[in-house]
Amino acid sequence: MTSIFVDTNVLIDIVRPVPGRFFQWAAVRLSELAPHAPFVVNAVVAAELSCQFDTAEDLERALPGALWSREAIAFVTGQAHRRHRERSGRHERTLPDFLIGAHARIGGHRLLTRDGFRYRTYFPDLDLICPETHP
């Protein structure tokens, strides 16, 4: 059974849905895939996701405990990055995407993401589950 690495954007679509965007797609994919393969989320994804919350407790309540292992460093890192983005106005996400793609590839995971183009470009052998491949 191949595990499925869940990209940050899929989790953000669930915890902070935007009407008319990807909530429906993300919710359907997660519910379809959950019985068939374990989900994987690393500290990079946890750090990116933590920017959506004010406290570590809010983050803990938003996601089921079985989905990912909690690492305190991830929340602290995400909050520092959040403050940086608020001050600088920059929303750089390239490096985290490369770390996520590399983790998925090296770990032999499939990648659940809505950003298929970026991952397909730089990790062409990665098995992607994205809106283009799984509408």
Write down all domains in the chain, each with its CATH number in brackets: 4-129 (3.40.50.1010)
pLDDT averaged over every residue in the chain? 83
A 10 A CB-CB count for 80 gives 13
| pTM across the whole model | 0.76
Nearest to 70 by CA among 96, 92, 41, 36: 41
Nearest to 5 by CA among 96, 83, 91, 89: 96
pLDDT at 94 over 70: no
Angle at 63 between CA 56 and CA 110, to 5 degrees: 120
Query: CA 23, CA 39: separation in Å to the nearest integer?
Result: 18
Backbone angles phi, psi at 49, to 5 degrees: -65, -35
Interval 39-76: pLDDT, tens: 888 888 888 888 889 888 888 777 666 655 555 556 76
